[in-house]
A and B are shown apart, each in its own frame.
Chain A
Amino acid sequence: MPIRRLIIAILIIGPILALLAFGFSRDAKYIRSPLLAKPAAPFTVTLFDGKKITLEDFRGKAVFLNFWASWCAPCRAEAHDLEAAWQKVKDRNMVFLGVALQDSDPASKEFLKEFNVTYPNGKDESGKIAVDYGTWGIPESFFIDPQGRITYKHVGGIRASLVLEKLEEAARGIASAQEGRGDYQGVR
């Protein structure tokens, strides 16, 4: 009888405590992004050289989309890696697109000049693109397959090797189950 009561008590109390501990141990931001394996939100961005491009323009290519700001230290830390990765794939059916967030034009341009960034970059004027991509920390990178589906999301700084690996996956339409994580800075 006492053993049965003990088991019943554990069965009632255990899950409540486990639920409590689980809830406190999770950072809600890292719950799986709803964007993975879903169609990427369409957008139009004005590049710093004045041209306008849309995501649709890149249909049929694997896309690396990177949100950044000149005031964000992890963005600076990854800048060389991104350019190095771009240099390796620029002649293939892959495109890079940088989108500056919450930044001034001169500061963004200075950043691009400083790190000798050669792939196209524009500015998210209204912040709508960032919201459409569920952005909360920068840098944030998205990999989009040729069909326009998000295959991988990485919050924080990313290394060139991972960019290339995930781009290859995106080119083959392989979507990751989890998003990645590196050093990041919260958007303002």
Chain B
Amino acid sequence: MRVRALYVLWVLLVLFLKPLSAASTPDIEDRTREIAAELRCVVCQNLSVADSPSEMAQQMRAIVREQVEAGRSTEEIKAFFVSKYGEWVLLKPKTTGISALLWILPYVVLITGVIGVLLFVRRVAAGKKAAVAPELTPMPEPAQRPIADQGAIEIPDLEDTTPRAELLREDERLRAELAELAFDFQSGKLSEADYRALSRELELRRSLALSQLAAMPPPAAAPKPERFNRVKKTKTTESANGLRRWQLASGAAFLLLFGIVLGVTLTNSIRPRAGENDTMTGGFMTGTGATNNQADAALAEGKRAFDRQEYPKAIEAFKKVLAGDPGHPEAHSYMGFILMQAGHGDGALMAFDKALLRAPNFPMALWGKGMVLYQDKKDFAAARDIFERLLTLMPPGEERNEVAKVLADMPASGVTGKPNASPEHPAAAPAGNVIAGKITLDDKLKNRVDPQAPLFIIARQAGGAAGPPLAVKKIDRPVFPLTYSLGQENAMIQGMPFTGKLHITVRLDKDGNPATRGAGDLTGEYKKNPVEPGAKSIDINIDQVAP
């Protein structure tokens, strides 16, 4: 009996809970999606967490789901994300606090606009009504009533805003329109019926203006108080005209400024991003130095031309980019590759250096510079340094493997700053004789570094301070910490053996001359000098300033 009762209970539970759970799962899914749709994917451009396929969005969705399952309310979940990312994470800003302005302002502007339009339409309608009213009293035909010359004698002053002057101007305008109408009729642009109808309407309006004018006293006879009284009567007309002019001028100014702001900011905002660090508007107002639309287009055009090997066209495009941003690393790098293709190694080197001046870790420029040094200059030591630096910057992958392969294939010897190794002096040295280590820059000297100063690594015979060094290696625009190697290939005089006890020093040399040490040059030396060729971990800290 007891067992049966338990069984019945179990069946009831299964029957009852199954549909409940089946109903709750879609509910959780729906709520998760609903909340995720209101959150911004933090790594995408204008995509919600619900719509984004990114890994980050997936993680955020999982957190939303977890919190939904934990019974948190929508507001609590949204507040959680706001507490982490700020209100920016909400696709719809809050309707409280300062954010409420974003919701209210458009409606305020809309209502104001509608009221403005209604007032304007009403005023226009009132003006038309006033102009059409005289039709009730029939006027003579244009031909029968020679009014063409009436009122033409008096020409009002431009600054005169009295009702009389306004009427005179109105009369003048209507007369001109009549003349124009007559001209159109004579030249066959208007049918006779149209001409008659239109000219009749204009004549009617003109006769109204003239009759109002006739009702006014002559200007000289108008005493001041009377004029003052009349102002009251004609105030509506005068202020309506003035107001209309101001409305038109303000409207035009607003539209112009609105157009300029939208034209500049929106086009900047929706352009493709130049890079990871590029902002919504690029360099405009934020000073972040991003390129503008034209530069982006020129860069893209240059790349396409480069891929098609249309080098003159590519050069023109990259020149355009550089005209706008003289330090653009990508444009300089492409120019470097083009010069390299054309066999101008020095020019290519200069282009890559310009790119590296702006972005010392720009992989494309490092690759190009390394290849020029390797293939064109045969300066294997310098090329090796560049490729080693590039390797530290590149994440694992095919491209990195390619660099590693080039590095592995590179001969162990070469020259430094001397383009052609003499075959008589092969300058070969066993790799084991190379001194290697790391050079660092002391923190206290970081602000004193001249970015143009090359780094010299100098080896002198221990005890023989006078005379030229045994070996020197020059590194342009070094980035610290850097690893170095110094060996036979860096010998000042080819063939001079790189042996014996050596004194190793380094110098960031402002004038770029290894033979002179000027005031302000930053120096350092290996603390346990002398060393022998082949020594490793010869780490040097640049911590002195030359007096």
**Chain B stretch 42-70: residues in CB contact (< 8 A) with chain A:** 42-43, 54-56, 58-60, 62-63
Residues of chain A contacted by B54 (CB below 8 angstroms): 187-188
Contact with A along B238-253 (1 / 0, CB 8 A): 0000100010001001
Q: How far is the CB of B355 from chain A (nearest CB, A)?
A: 15
Contact A21 B481 (CB under 8 A): no
Complex partner residue of A187 from B55, B257, B363, CB under 8 angstroms: B55
A65 at the interface (CB under 8 A from B): no
Contact with A along B183-224 (1 / 0, CB 8 A): 000000000000000000000000000000000000000000
Contact A110 B265 (CB under 8 A): no
The answer to whether residues A161 and B443 also contact, given A17-B257, A76-B393, A184-B277 and a CB cut-off of 8 A, is yes
Residues of chain A contacted by B88 (CB below 8 angstroms): 28-29, 31
B269 at the interface (CB under 8 A from A): yes
Q: Chain A contact residues (Cβ within 8 angstroms of B): what range?
A: 35 or more
The answer to whether residues A27 and B279 also contact, given A70-B395, A76-B394, A131-B60 and a CB cut-off of 8 A, is yes
Q: How far is the CB of A67 from chain B (nearest CB, A)?
A: 12
B254 at the interface (CB under 8 A from A): yes
Number of B residues contacting the other chain (C-beta, 8 Å)?
52
Contact with B along A147-182 (1 / 0, CB 8 A): 000000000100111001000000000000000010
Contact A20 B59 (CB under 8 A): no
The answer to whether residues A131 and B63 also contact, given A20-B261, A29-B88 and a CB cut-off of 8 A, is yes
A50 at the interface (CB under 8 A from B): no
A81 to B269, CA, bound (A): 35
B281-289, B466-474, B518-526: which lies at the interface: B281-289
The answer to whether residues A73 and B395 also contact, given A24-B269, A136-B42 and a CB cut-off of 8 A, is yes
**Chain A stretch 1-48: residues in CB contact (< 8 A) with chain B:** 1-2, 5, 9, 13, 16-17, 19-21, 24-35, 38
Residues of chain A contacted by B107 (CB below 8 angstroms): none
Q: How far is the CB of B400 from chain A (nearest CB, A)?
A: 10
**Chain A, Cβ-Cβ closest to B85:** A134
Contact A133 B261 (CB under 8 A): no
Residues of chain A contacted by B257 (CB below 8 angstroms): 13, 17
From B58, B85, B443, residue with most partner A Cβ within 10 Å: B85
Contact B62 A126 (CB under 8 A): yes
Residues of chain B contacted by A102 (CB below 8 angstroms): 55-56
**Chain B, Cβ-Cβ closest to A77:** B361
A128 at the interface (CB under 8 A from B): yes
From A19, A25, A26, A81, residue with most partner B Cβ within 10 Å: A25
Residues of chain B contacted by A110 (CB below 8 angstroms): 396
A77 to B257, CA, bound (A): 44
A30 to B261, CA, bound (A): 22
Which label, helix, strand, loop or mixed, suits the secondary structure of the B interface? helix
Complex partner residue of B393 from A1, A70, A77, CB under 8 angstroms: A77
Contact A9 B250 (CB under 8 A): yes
A32 to B392, CA, bound (A): 32
From B56, B286, B393, residue with most partner A Cβ within 10 Å: B56
A130 to B43, CA, bound (A): 13
Residues of chain A contacted by B60 (CB below 8 angstroms): 131
Contact B443 A13 (CB under 8 A): no
Contact A17 B253 (CB under 8 A): no
Residues of chain A contacted by B393 (CB below 8 angstroms): 73, 76-77
**Chain A stretch 84-137: residues in CB contact (< 8 A) with chain B:** 84, 102, 107, 110, 114-115, 126-128, 130-134, 136-137
B446 at the interface (CB under 8 A from A): yes
Contact A131 B59 (CB under 8 A): yes
A58 at the interface (CB under 8 A from B): no
Q: How far is the CB of B359 from chain A (nearest CB, A)?
A: 9
A61 at the interface (CB under 8 A from B): no
A35 to B86, CA, bound (A): 9
Contact A133 B84 (CB under 8 A): yes
Complex partner residue of A17 from B59, B81, B258, B481, CB under 8 angstroms: B258
Q: How far is the CB of B399 from chain A (nearest CB, A)?
A: 11
Contact A25 B281 (CB under 8 A): yes
Q: How far is the CB of B451 from chain A (nearest CB, A)?
A: 15
A126 to B56, CA, bound (A): 10
The answer to whether residues A24 and B266 also contact, given A73-B394, A84-B481 and a CB cut-off of 8 A, is yes
**Chain B stretch 481-505: residues in CB contact (< 8 A) with chain A:** 481
Residues of chain B contacted by A133 (CB below 8 angstroms): 84
Q: A24-B261, A136-B42, A137-B43 are in contact. List 14 more A-B contacts (CB 8 A).
A: A9-B254, A20-B262, A24-B266, A25-B280, A25-B285, A26-B286, A34-B84, A35-B84, A77-B393, A114-B392, A131-B60, A137-B276, A187-B56, A188-B43
7 contacts between A and B (CB under 8 A): A9-B254, A32-B86, A34-B84, A102-B56, A127-B59, A131-B84, A185-B276
